[in-house]
Amino acid sequence: MRLVTIVVFAALAATPVMAAETYPDSSTTAATTAPDPSVDGRVAAKDQARQDLYKHKLDAANAQTQADNASAQADQAAANRDASLDKAAQDRADIHAANP
């Protein structure tokens, strides 16, 4: 009984070491999967079309965000210009009032 217990513990301790040698290199960055043979061409085409649809929607949302940001920057630039013109006019009025 004691011998069986020692053998079982030794096998359990050696299992991770043996398994680690069979794993592929851990520096890989992408995993690929084999095509599912139960998926026919129509299902694959629908899946691809759905992926394309959502990618295009995401691209459109990103483009809209960029357009909104550009519009906001243009509005801010116009507001800054107007504030500068108002300040310049006020400064001229102050100088004119100080030197009649």
CB atoms within 10 A of CB 76: 10
Give the pLDDT confidence score for residue 77 in this predicted structure: 96
Q: H/E element holding 20?
A: helix 2-22
At 42 the pLDDT is: 84
pLDDT of residue 63 exceeding 60, the answer is yes
Position 41 confidence tier, pLDDT thresholds 50, 70, 90: confident
Query: What's this model's pTM, rounded to 2 decimal places?
Result: 0.48
Handedness of CA 83, 84, 86, 91 (dihedral sign): positive
100 or 82, higher pLDDT: 82
- Cα 47 from Cα 57, distance rounded (Å): 15
pLDDT at residue number 36: 67
